[in-house]
């Protein structure tokens, strides 16, 4: 992948991120934070590639550790967010 292309999408994603979040009501700040924290667990993709190497000893161990941590981040993050949001939602139906 060319570097320029990566920089390009990085810049666009930054603007998109600003646009998306700028109008969130403060009631939802915690779920937003914990939900976006789960998204930052996307590094799991890098961890998968590193842990799945066929060779490479230390590198593979590092990848394995990264994979465990990223999985905690992803699974825990989404579940906790879901728990919080379901509390918010229940009352809306009253």
Partner 1 sequence: MQFAINISYIIAAILFVFGIKMLGSASTAVRGNRISSLGMLLAVVATLARSNLGYEWIAGGILTGALIGFIAAKRVQMTGMPELVALFNGFGGLASLLVGWAEYEKARPDWSAYLTENDAVPGSWFSALVIVLAIVIGGITFTGSIVAYLKLSGKIGATAAGFPGQKVVNLLVMAGLVAVGAFFSIAVEQANAPSLFLATVALSLLLGVLGVIPIGGGDMPVVIAMLNSFSGLAAAAAGFVISNTVLVVAGCLVGASGLILTVIMCKAMNRTLGNVLFGGFGAASGAGDRQVEGEMKAISVEDAYYVLEAAQNVVFVPGYGMAVAQAQHVVKELAEILERNGAEVRHAIHPVAGRMPGHMNVLLAEADVAYEQLCEMDDVNAIMSTVDVAIVIGANDVVNPSAVDDESSPIYGMPIVNVHQAKTVFALKRGQGTGFSGLVNTLFFRDNCRMIYGDAKATVSSLVSEFDG
The residues in 74-93 that bind partner 1, with binding defined as CB under 8 A, are: 74-92
The helix-helix angle for 57-71 and 44-51 (nearest 10°) equals 150
Phi, psi (degrees; rounded to nearest 5) at 5: -65, -40
Minimum CB distance to partner 1, residue 82 (Å): 6
**Minimum CB separation from partner 1 for residue 93, in Å?**
10
Binding flags for partner 1, 5-24, as an x/- string (CB under 8 A):
-x--xx--xxxxxx-xxxxx
Scan residues 39-78 and list those touching partner 1 (CB under 8 A): 39-54, 56, 58-60, 62-78
Phi-psi region of 47 (alpha: psi -120 to 50; beta: other; left: phi over 0): alpha
Least distance CB 55 / partner 1 (angstroms) = 9
């Amino acid at each position: 992948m060319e570097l320029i292309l990566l920089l390009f999408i990085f810049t666009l994603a930054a603007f998109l991120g600003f646009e998306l979040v700028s109008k969130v009501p403060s009631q939802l700040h915690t779920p937003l934070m914990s939900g976006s924290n789960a998204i930052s667990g996307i590094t799991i993709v890098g961890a998968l590639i590193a842990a799945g190497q066929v060779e490479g000893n230390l590198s593979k161990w590092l990848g394995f550790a990264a994979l465990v941590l990223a999985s905690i981040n992803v699974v825990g993050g989404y579940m906790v967010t879901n728990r919080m949001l379901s509390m918010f939602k229940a009352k809306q139906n009253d």
